[in-house]
Structure 1
Amino acid sequence: MDLYKRLLRHVWPYRGALALGIVAMIVGGLADAALVKLTGPLVNELFVNKNRELAILLPLGVIAVFLVSGLASFTSGYMTQWVSNKVILDLRGLMFTQLLRLPPAWFDEATTARLVAKFTNDVTNIAAASTSVLTVFVRDTVTIVALLTILLYSNWKLTLITLAVIPPTALVVRYFSKRLRATSRASQQAIGGIATVLDETIANLRVVKIFGGQSYESSRFREANERIRRYNMKQSVAASASVPITQLLVACAVAAIIYFAAQEALSGNSDVGKFVEFIAATGMLLQPLKRLTGINEHLQKGLAAAESVFGVIDEKAEDDLGTVALDRARGEIRYDNVTLAYKSSPRPALEGVSLDIRPGETIALVGASGSGKTSLIHLLPRFYHPGSGRITIDGHDLEALTLESLRRQISLVSQNVVLFNDTVAANIAYGRLEQTSEADIIRAAEAAHAMDFIRQLPEGLATPIGENGAKLSGGQRQRIAIARALLKDAPILLLDEATSALDTESERAVQAALEELMKGRTTIVVAHRLSTIENADRIVVLAHGRIVEVGSHRELIGRGGVYAGLHRLQFAGA
């Protein structure tokens, strides 16, 4: 009940439109009942009393009632769909806003495909629970109440038989509600599973084809597809079983009513018109009762979807308790006995790391895979929080800085370049295109050695580059990312293996762009290719989450330690 109340709070801003829809539903329900009420006068006045005056008026009355019913149906349908789509719009907006506020660590556990399923399938199911169910509930409840009133007026004794089926019907609905909620929840998770398989297969199609993974992926898809079918069938069984059981109870009541009504008619104690009216009202009760029991399936689907959607909305946003707004940092960074452990890892990624970095200094991080290099730089923009120790920028504890001002100080260029399905200009001036002049974009692109290839594109800076820059080469994507960092002009630069995936020619162009980018900035470079960091002011060597060596390239080679060993291995075949 609390879940549904919360759902209705999102409907409340559109209460005016919903109220109009509800009024139309009530009018429609009364119009349906009015058709039954007309049957008594039709029989008595036209066929028993032969009333010629009403021979035209009563048929016109039937047309009028149908006209009112049709207009009411249109109005209620339109208004509830309008409200429904507004609720979908709001909930998707809330979810997306919350996603942008969630800590990066949360996305380590969440898959993109499952999140997409929440934004599409789950939110749509919520709309059915919040508005469409309401349409059926209000109109059919009004119809049933009106019909019961007609029945009580016609023959209250027989009507009591109808009321006798309410308690067992309520028990049936309650039992199947639990089953439907559980199967709906599982079905939504299964939809997320099939979305995951689709997402991974499409994103990695070249790998699938090269390594002959078609059969394996087909098997995964078949299993996920079968899981959805299985849960849908469980839903169908629960939903389908409740309706005939309820109808059987109602049919027993109707049969009893017809039997006793017939006895009265045979004894000559019954008014023909009222008898026809009573039978028509009793028969007409079946359809709204059937629809009311049927809405339980949609309601439980919607409530299960609401649990899923509100689960995302209720996730704890990343901490932003800092109060210090840094204008422009000098770039002095200090790691003081920092430790970091991931939930999924049995051992710490960083352990007791201390490092002082001077303003404008270039620091290179090297070490074997898994030694903690990337973890060290991901702590700086507060993507993760250290388990112990502290990190400072210009003497300010990172936790004391506001997130906005902290991240304004940092630019990141990584091996896995992130570009958006937009124009070249929009990607370079990402997040501030409207505030950036074309001249500034061109200057950044020139400094990144990117304008040569940009000019050759069909529409220059206005050329769409496709999903994640699919229309560009690896080196071109990298230089767009460097131009973006140049345009931001942040005092601290993080380079996470920015050239490791490039061929030699592309690497030269990107390296030249990086040298331009690094001028006057505090730079932390993560690199596998040691040749790219020989000119770094200092090289920090990590192993198993600890710093084991610090020094210049010449000093570390002279020591003959870990760095010298890595260098010797890398250039052994040169």
Structure 2
Amino acid sequence: MTQDQGSTNPSPSARASPTFGATSRGLSGQIGDLIWLSRKVVATDSRSVRLWAAMTLAIGLLTPVQLWATKGVADNLQERLDGGPGAAMWPFAALWLAVLGFTLLAGQVEGVFAATARERGGAAIAAEALDHATRIDLASFEHQGFYDQVALVLTSAEEKASDVVTQFISFGWAIPRAAAYLAVLLVFDWRLALIATIPTLPAVWGWFFSGALYWHAFEEQTRERRLAAYYAGLLSDRQAAKEVRLFGLAPTLIARWEASYWTTARELRTRGLRIGLKQRGLSLLSLSFVVLGLAWYVSIGPAEASAGTVVVVISSFLAFYHSIYFLGQPIQILGQSSGFASNLRGFLNWPADGAGLTARIAPVSGAGELRLEAVSFTYPGGTEPTLSDISLTIPARETIALVGENGAGKSTLVKLMLGLYAPDSGRVLLDGVDLATVDPVEVRKRLSGVFQHFTRYPLSARDNVTLGDCGKDGQAEAALDAAGLTRLVDRLPDGLDTILSPDLGGTDLSGGQWQRLAIARAGIREASLLALDEPTAALDPLAEVAIFKRFSDLARDRTTVLVSHRLGIARLADRIVVLERGRIVEQGTHDALIARPDSEYTAMWDAQARWYR
């Protein structure tokens, strides 16, 4: 079969780097994102949040009652000292104690509702973010900057989401108290209220933006902090321990961990110091205005008042300023969270694979025809295409082998065939349906594969084969037998229920055994297209021969794409396709290609054959 002739499109231009982080949202945008996030958290457990807010608000609203009771006790005490009856002192004292007792009890109840709301809200936001991460364009994950942004959102989601609601609800305690103190000052003298209020506004502004600046600094360090965590992980990782000890890597890794750790720590400390100095400067300026204003007010002579009134006014003035400054930490945390809220909103708004698509594809019904028409692909942020003008038709039930040197584009082409990447230009069609027009979830029900870097799930042997929608439980034994693992499973302590992770108290497998398990996982799925990317790379020669013998069973009634550097397995294919620098340069059967002494395939075959002569 000859290569399909596609149009000769020019190579695609450099592909833009993906990003969803907000660079400059402005104050209104930041506050809008905070409100958006708080609504999402509240919606997860509105009952607990309402009760939490109600308890907090009740505590705050009792402040005026407590002030009134304090004034009553002071006035009646003065009356008694002056020889009067002061008969109302004990009722006021009883009211003061009742308010204190309710406040303590309400605070305990508030803590229960707060913990419940924080746990459920944070977990729900984290789950939504994790779910969305599985549905966005997979190629974007290949871009390091985008991956850093995703990692920061996912690792911060649970904590930051619940923090937003916590800080907003804390206003329910602080604002009523501040309002009560301010009301006392307004009743006594409006000028005193202005002296207390106006100077605090710059400090409030400074708190919010200092938090936003701190988040921005933290965001810039994502990659360096991940690198530090990676070095630390290598030092304690069971798999890496062999090379760490054999090659004496510990001093180097520790030194690099320390370099990354202290780089981020010093930078955060330096930035934090600069931010803190600006914030303290604004606070000091505000305090100076308050002191000067109060001194001016005292110099002009306040009106005559009772002892109780003086006590309440002075305590209200000081308590108002304290209440405002109590808001400093919540406002600063909200400033930090505003950056996270903007990033989370941008991330969740990032288009999901197949968003809005309504076209459907036929359910699994045997092998399917796969056709690529002038397909080109460049990785996000890349300047050169990885694949250029690929046109290829694979009839139903045909097995093809993709061969070529490292970097030729074989694995990338497989991901395009499986609908994991979308081409920049051209089309990928399964049974005549353009995959770009179909919900990827529906498409992937007809596809299966073994990847070059497959996943070793720290779960049971059964789950490693049947996890998700890979297959039914009753099919596990047949799939394991097809992959040559029946005897291995029989030797496992708990058979199919054995946990395959020594870190979790289970059993580990060899690299080749893990690869066979990945083959079983791919084979159990009733897929019409099967892609095998280096399926025998970790197998010894005898195990590879065993897999070769079972290959016809694995590929039966399926369209199969095989990628391998070992050209011996390529002979099993009906057709061999040779890739070079992202383009198809030749294709045909093994016999047809090997008969051409000047072919790329012949050169690769001869190079490998020399090692066995």
Work out whether the TM-score is over 0.5: yes
Kindly provide the amino acid, as one letter, of the partner of residue 143 in structure 2: E
**Structure 2 partner of 1:6:** 36
Distance 1:242 1:280 in 2: 26
* SS of residue in 1 equivalent to 2:419: coil
Distance 1:4 1:117 in 2: 17
Distance 1:278 1:421 in 2: 65
Residues 240 and 39 (structure 1), Cα distance of their counterparts in 2 relative to 1, 3 Å cut:
farther
CA-CA distance at 1:108 after TM superposition: 0.6
Distance 2:340 2:273 in 1: 17
CA-CA distance at 1:236 after TM superposition: 5.8
1:448 aligns with 2:483: yes
* SS of residue in 1 equivalent to 2:422: coil
CA contact (8 A) 1:447 1:483 kept: yes
CA contact (8 A) 2:71 2:308 kept: yes
1:503 aligns with 2:540: yes
CA-CA distance at 1:98 after TM superposition: 0.8
CA-CA distance at 1:94 after TM superposition: 1.4
Q: Which moved more, 1:11-20 or 1:472-481?
A: 11-20
Identical counterparts, % of pairs = 24
Q: Superposed, which structure 2 residues align to 1:123-134 within 5 Å? A: 123-128=158-163, 130-134=164-168
**Structure 2 partner of 1:59:** 93
Distance 1:241 1:337 in 2: 58
Distance 2:280 2:329 in 1: 6
Residues 503 and 144 (structure 1), Cα distance of their counterparts in 2 relative to 1, 3 Å cut:
same
Distance 1:340 1:567 in 2: 28
**Structure 2 partner of 1:567:** 605
- Residue from 424, 428, 439 that aligns with 2:461: 424
Structure with the higher helix share, 1 or 2: 1
Distance 1:105 1:559 in 2: 37
Higher relative contact order, chain-length normalized (CA < 8 Å, sep 6+) = 2
CA-CA distance at 1:425 after TM superposition: 0.7
* SS of residue in 1 equivalent to 2:118: helix
Residues 403 and 26 (structure 1), Cα distance of their counterparts in 2 relative to 1, 3 Å cut:
closer
Residues 546 and 115 (structure 1), Cα distance of their counterparts in 2 relative to 1, 3 Å cut:
closer
CA contact (8 A) 2:185 2:193 kept: no
CA contact (8 A) 1:444 1:487 kept: yes
* SS of residue in 2 equivalent to 1:363: strand
CA-CA distance at 1:208 after TM superposition: 4.9
CA-CA distance at 1:262 after TM superposition: 9.2
Residues 262 and 245 (structure 1), Cα distance of their counterparts in 2 relative to 1, 3 Å cut:
same
CA contact (8 A) 2:231 2:256 kept: no
Q: Which moved more, 1:522-531 or 1:24-33?
A: 24-33
- Residue from 433, 436, 439 that aligns with 2:472: 436
Distance 2:433 2:307 in 1: 92
Residues 167 and 192 (structure 1), Cα distance of their counterparts in 2 relative to 1, 3 Å cut:
farther
**Structure 2 partner of 1:339:** 376
Aligned residue pair count = 566
CA contact (8 A) 1:161 1:253 kept: no
Distance 1:243 1:51 in 2: 50
CA contact (8 A) 1:80 1:135 kept: no
* SS of residue in 2 equivalent to 1:20: helix
* SS of residue in 2 equivalent to 1:194: helix
1:397 aligns with 2:434: yes
CA-CA distance at 1:258 after TM superposition: 7.4
Q: Superposed, which structure 2 residues align to 1:182-331 within 5 Å? A: 182-191=213-222, 193-199=224-230, 202=233, 205-206=240-241, 207-229=243-265, 230-232=267-269, 234-235=271-272, 238-239=275-276, 242=279, 245-246=282-283, 249-250=286-287, 253=290, 257=294, 269-319=304-354, 321=357, 323-327=359-363, 328-331=365-368
1:99 aligns with 2:133: yes
CA-CA distance at 1:556 after TM superposition: 1.6
CA-CA distance at 1:70 after TM superposition: 1.5
1:379-433 C-alpha deviation (Å, 9 max, x unpaired): 1122222333333333333334442332222210123222322111111112148
1:492 aligns with 2:555: no
Residues 391 and 7 (structure 1), Cα distance of their counterparts in 2 relative to 1, 3 Å cut:
closer
CA contact (8 A) 1:113 1:199 kept: no
CA contact (8 A) 1:465 1:472 kept: yes
- Residue from 446, 452, 467 that aligns with 1:415: 452
Distance 1:68 1:245 in 2: 37
Distance 1:478 1:34 in 2: 72
- Residue from 517, 521, 535 that aligns with 2:558: 521
CA contact (8 A) 1:415 1:498 kept: yes
CA-CA distance at 1:66 after TM superposition: 0.6
**Structure 1 partner of 2:569:** 532
TM-score when scaled to structure 2?
Answer: 0.84
- Residue from 334, 346, 353 that aligns with 2:390: 353
Residues 102 and 554 (structure 1), Cα distance of their counterparts in 2 relative to 1, 3 Å cut:
same
Distance 1:508 1:2 in 2: 62
Q: Which moved more, 1:493-502 or 1:221-230?
A: 221-230
Residues 393 and 277 (structure 1), Cα distance of their counterparts in 2 relative to 1, 3 Å cut:
closer
* SS of residue in 1 equivalent to 2:198: helix
CA contact (8 A) 2:211 2:336 kept: yes
Residues 535 and 463 (structure 1), Cα distance of their counterparts in 2 relative to 1, 3 Å cut:
same
Residues 46 and 26 (structure 1), Cα distance of their counterparts in 2 relative to 1, 3 Å cut:
same
Distance 1:394 1:45 in 2: 92
Q: Superposed, which structure 2 residues align to 1:109-124 within 5 Å? A: 109-110=143-144, 115-124=150-159
Distance 1:296 1:236 in 2: 18
**Structure 2 partner of 1:482:** 519
- Point out where structure 2 has 5 or more consecutive residues left out of the alignment: 1-30
Residues 511 and 41 (structure 1), Cα distance of their counterparts in 2 relative to 1, 3 Å cut:
same
Q: Which moved more, 1:112-121 or 1:272-281?
A: 112-121
- Point out where structure 1 has 5 or more consecutive residues left out of the alignment: none
User: How large is the RMSD of aligned CA atoms in angstroms?
Assistant: 3.0
Kindly provide the amino acid, as one letter, of the partner of residue 361 in structure 2: A
Distance 2:232 2:589 in 1: 45
1:521-572 C-alpha deviation (Å, 9 max, x unpaired): 2211111111122232221222222222222222222211221111111111
CA contact (8 A) 1:127 1:302 kept: no
Residues 20 and 394 (structure 1), Cα distance of their counterparts in 2 relative to 1, 3 Å cut:
closer
Distance 1:259 1:276 in 2: 19
CA-CA distance at 1:261 after TM superposition: 5.8
CA contact (8 A) 1:363 1:539 kept: yes
Distance 1:406 1:131 in 2: 40
* SS of residue in 2 equivalent to 1:572: helix
CA contact (8 A) 2:377 2:387 kept: yes
CA-CA distance at 1:250 after TM superposition: 4.5
Distance 2:313 2:86 in 1: 24
CA contact (8 A) 1:247 1:286 kept: no
Residues 272 and 511 (structure 1), Cα distance of their counterparts in 2 relative to 1, 3 Å cut:
same
